[in-house]
Chain A
Amino acid sequence: MDMQLPLLDRLFAAGLLIDTGVDGLYGRSGAFEDVITRFEAVIDGLGGVDKPETIRFPPGMNRAHFEGSGYMKSFPQLAGTIHSFCGCELDHVSLLTCMEEGKDWTGQQQATDIVLTPAACYPLYPTIAKRGALPAGGGLFDLQSYCFRHEPSKEPTRMQLFRMREYVRMGKPTDVVAFRQDWMERGTKLMESVGLPVEIDVANDPFFGRAGKMYKNNQRNQNLKFELLIPVNANAGPTACMSFNYHQDHFGKTWGLTTDDGETAHTACVGFGLERIALALFKHHGLDVNAWPSHVRKTLWG
């Protein structure tokens, strides 16, 4: 195959990703999915020893929880809301007329109670807060969800709908910071075990606007976010394939999460960008998984 073609085109040509006509919205082949399944099994092997509570939410979350999270203060440009037709028969006729005439019909759609999940852990915090104070020792959770971010791009690593695997720790500041540190070391070893070159660097989230500049500076100055970076795209910086985030008491205060001794809980999460990791593996080891180095195959398939 022509190695000069952009990675996305090569992935389409190999049938690993399937073009839908929308940038960042792709089908996945069985081979692509198998890599993600096997990689998740390796994650399970590392994270399972800590006995997290496993919870799976669908890729849509309660709009009230989304509003309460403050996501729109920071990332209004990335959010996706679910709208549906809520009109009468007459409205339906007018909607069909608009569609037939090629006019905008979406303005008649109304917001539902569901918002697309922006990060796998967003539905978790209000859910756990509702249970009452955390038990002694805090909480540890294992999550995975498709997530949505409105940022169409030709870079295959920047999908609009992608899966995020997460571990979330809630509890005392020292415990959640230790959890994050531990995963930075685990993540580095994990990527090395599948033959991927990594570096870890301080990072910031894509906060919106001028106010966002201040959030970005604050996040960096306080070392609240680190990313594990792997080169994937040609002529671009390395891609964040994992992130290690210390939220301090942000979610604890927002949702009234408390420790067993009544203090506001601190939280941290470690996230794996599953498609990005699969893409890094395809980029570095080739598009044919059968030709991957034997030690990488052994780690993933045993």
Chain B
Amino acid sequence: MKTQIREMLAQYASLPSAAGLDDDADLYAAGMSSHGSVQLMLALEDTFDVEFPDNLLNRKSFSTIAIIEQTVNQLVAGKEAA
């Protein structure tokens, strides 16, 4: 999934450098804007057919590739369990 997230970061969050970023690199420090993170959030919801609950709609949830993957995995698992 991480490769896919990196591609989405480049496409939706205007972060072409994502391919070379570590899993734990701070995406905001790498240049992701607030608007970029919102675009990424909407694209992740669309791609993985999940909905981020209000308590996850914050900067931290989209701050690193590892956190994004972990969050999306949890949302997908929650959906399957439901």
Contact = CB atoms under 8 A, between A and B. Distances in A.
Contacts of B42: 210-211
B38 interface: yes
Contacts of B39: 211
Interface stretch (B2-10, B17-25, B52-60, B67-75): B52-60
Given A218-B59, A221-B58, A221-B59, A211 B41 contact: yes
A250 B57 CA distance: 20
Contact of B37 (A73, A214, A222, A253): A214
B35 interface: yes
A217 B38 CA distance: 12
A215 interface: yes
A217 B35 contact: no
A213 interface: yes
Interface residues of A, number: 13
| Most A C-beta atoms less than 10 A away, residue of B38, B41, B54, B58 | B38
A135 B63 CA distance: 35
A76 interface: no
A68 interface: no
A218 B41 contact: no
A185 B71 CA distance: 41
Contacts of A73: 35
A215 B38 contact: yes
A213 B57 contact: yes
A211 B38 contact: yes
Interface in A174-227: 210-211, 213-215, 217-218, 221-222
Nearest to A219: B34
A221 to B, nearest CB: 6
Given A70-B35, A218-B34, A213 B59 contact: no
A253 B33 CA distance: 10
Nearest to A73: B35
Given A73-B35, A211-B39, A217-B54, 20 more contacts: A210-B42, A211-B41, A211-B42, A213-B54, A213-B57, A214-B37, A214-B38, A214-B41, A214-B57, A214-B58, A215-B34, A215-B38, A217-B58, A218-B34, A218-B58, A221-B58, A221-B59, A222-B59, A250-B34, A253-B33
27 contacts: A70-B35, A73-B35, A210-B42, A211-B38, A211-B39, A211-B41, A211-B42, A213-B54, A213-B57, A214-B37, A214-B38, A214-B41, A214-B57, A214-B58, A215-B34, A215-B38, A217-B54, A217-B57, A217-B58, A218-B34, A218-B58, A218-B59, A221-B58, A221-B59, A222-B59, A250-B34, A253-B33
